[in-house]
Amino acid sequence: MPETGMNAYSTGGVVKVPGTGTSTYSKVLILIPALNEEGAIGDVVRRVKEVMPGAAVVVVDDCSRDATVSVARGAGAEVLPLPHHLGLGGCVQAGYKLAFELGYQYVIRVDGDGQHDPADIPKVFETLRGSECEMVIGSRFLNGSENGTSVLRAAGIRFFRMVLRPILGKAVHDPTSGFVGVSRSALEVFSRSFPLEYPEIEALVVLQRRRFRFIEVPCRTLPRRTGRSSITPMKSIYYIVHVLLGVFVNVLKYERRIPKESRRT
Amino acid sequence: MDRLLNAMTGLSVLLILLVLVSVRRARIRVEYSVSWLIGAVALLVLSRSHDLLNSIAGLLGVTYPPLALILLVGCVFLVMFYRFSVIISQLKDDNIALAQRVAILEYHIRACKDQATTS
């Protein structure tokens, strides 16, 4: 496992060698998947760099048709532009693969639309570093309510909480959160195998099947700055069916043979 | 019955021609044309051979022979669709992995160029 430097290099005068910088956050890569987010991405990158000085900030651009790439670079982010549109899962996995290759120990993913408050990133990081969990979820609903979400989405979230509870062996309040921190061991798994469409829920099951642990920390959600959610009411139905199938396919995979008592919860 | 079988014959001939033209124009790779051609030729033979079709209908317990032909064709195409779904899924996985690899390599190249420029 490359602790430092195997694939590292310097760019723009900033040495990008994970773990060798003086900053607390030098082993952290902030991953921001983005698609047509030129209106928000600049502020998101700047805010992330303010709260996580020394951390690498990589925007993975899923073939935006606007100026997302140039705005992100202008704000000081590294950009990983995909050659063609891969969807959210493929986009995030590309970032995970890059982070794994570069030897980063922690990756924290935030959305490029500005809905996740960057001020919560240090909290996610400290929890990830201080706990023995492989994944930390920035949860919007840790108190059990779904304020600020549509009725349909809230119903979907409740439904998946119910489905996931027996599979994960513990409650998850915000299974659809895109504000997620992962350790290097989870990064290794995700760089090899990551759900491609609507990945958040399935990713939890992928990790659980490998006996990894997760924890939720409360995080704030900000109003979307630009654009709108890609999940429409019609797509919600497809989403539920698709994710449900994905969850059960992952449950049925070979890891089911792991004895229950040996699983870490 | 004859009219339906004639329609099946016409359909199979059209399918054979379509596949051959597509292969000639390189729109279908040869390996993927084989299953279509086998299915189309089988349809052609069965629709023209009443004795063979009657025997198969008898084996299946179907009293109306063209229905047996439609059932067989349906089964063959179902298997083909499944096979193509497997192939498409594999291709999509490969395509995504390839696109990610290209993006990461481009990222490394850009970083190396930046490094060369600054040093």
What's the mean pLDDT when you consider all of chain A?
82
Cβ separation A11–B104 shorter than 8 A: no
pLDDT > 70: percent of chain A: 80
For the record, the structure tokens of B7 come out as: 């329609």
What's the pLDDT band for A21 if we cut at 50, 70, 90?
low
Mutate to test the interface with A, among B100, B102, B114, B119 (most CBs of A within 10 A): B100
What's the pLDDT band for A229 if we cut at 50, 70, 90?
low
Cβ separation B102–A83 shorter than 8 A: yes
Q: Which domain holds residue B97?
A: 2-118
Q: What is the mean pLDDT of residues A192-205?
A: 87
pLDDT of residue A120: 93
pLDDT tens digits, residue range A163-194?
Answer: 899 888 888 888 888 899 999 999 999 998 88
What residues of B are in contact with residue A98 (Cβ under 8 Å)?
Answer: 104, 107
Distance to chain A for B109, nearest Cα, Å = 11
B-facing residues of A in 178-207 (CB < 8 A) are 196
Q: What is the mean pLDDT of residues A113-135?
A: 91
pLDDT tens digits, residue range A41-68?
Answer: 999 999 999 999 989 999 999 999 999 9
What's the pLDDT band for A258 if we cut at 50, 70, 90?
very low
Question: Which letter does DSSP use for residue A224 in this model?
Answer: P
For the record, the structure tokens of A57 come out as: 């900030």
How many domains is chain B built from? 1
Q: State yes or no: pLDDT of B82 exceeds 80.
A: yes
pLDDT > 90: percent of chain A: 44
Question: The complex's ipTM?
Answer: 0.80
- Across chain A, where does the E strand assignment appear? 9-11, 14-16, 28-34, 56-61, 78-81, 106-109, 135-139, 180-183, 214-218
Enumerate long-range contacts of B84-88, CB under 8 Å, 24 or more apart. Answer: B84/B32, B87/B32
pLDDT of residue A2: 37
Does the pTM exceed 0.90?
Answer: no
In CATH, the number for domain A9-258 is 3.90.550.10
Q: State yes or no: pLDDT of A123 exceeds 90.
A: yes
pLDDT of residue A148: 65
pLDDT of residue A228: 61
Give the residue from B48, B47, B65, B45 showing the smallest Cα distance to B56. B65
